[in-house]
Amino acid sequence: MTREEQKLIEKDAVETYGMDSQMRMLQEECGELIVAVGHYLRGREGSIANLCEELADVKIMVEQMEIALDNPVIEELYDYKLGRLKKRLEEHKSIG
């Protein structure tokens, strides 16, 4: 599936179910991801498969919100925060 096809599906989901419904779904999926991370950290059997599934669910919901909000500030903040992380990594590596 192309990225363009993915975006069309994500946009269609928000238009079909509505922003409020998809935001609630984002909350639910984030909660499930939190639980999956906990299971992984405790070494629960099958936790890696569940973690991957929940990461995919959250990624889909986040991408829906990005499309629905259509706000360039998201990308600006993403770039800023990624740059900040890069700087911290460089500082960390130079110390250690």
For helices 3-17 and 47-69, angle between their N-to-C axes, nearest 10 degrees: 80
pTM metric for this prediction? 0.90
Burial of 10 (0-12, 13-18, 19+ CB in 10 A): buried
Cα radius of gyration (the chain): 17
Q: Tens digit of pLDDT for each residue in 17-52?
A: 999 999 999 999 999 999 999 999 999 999 999 999
Rounded-to-10 torsion of CA 30, 34, 39, 42: 160
pLDDT tens, 52-94? Answer: 999 999 999 999 999 999 999 999 999 999 999 999 999 999 9
CA–CA dist 80, 78 (Å, integer)? 5
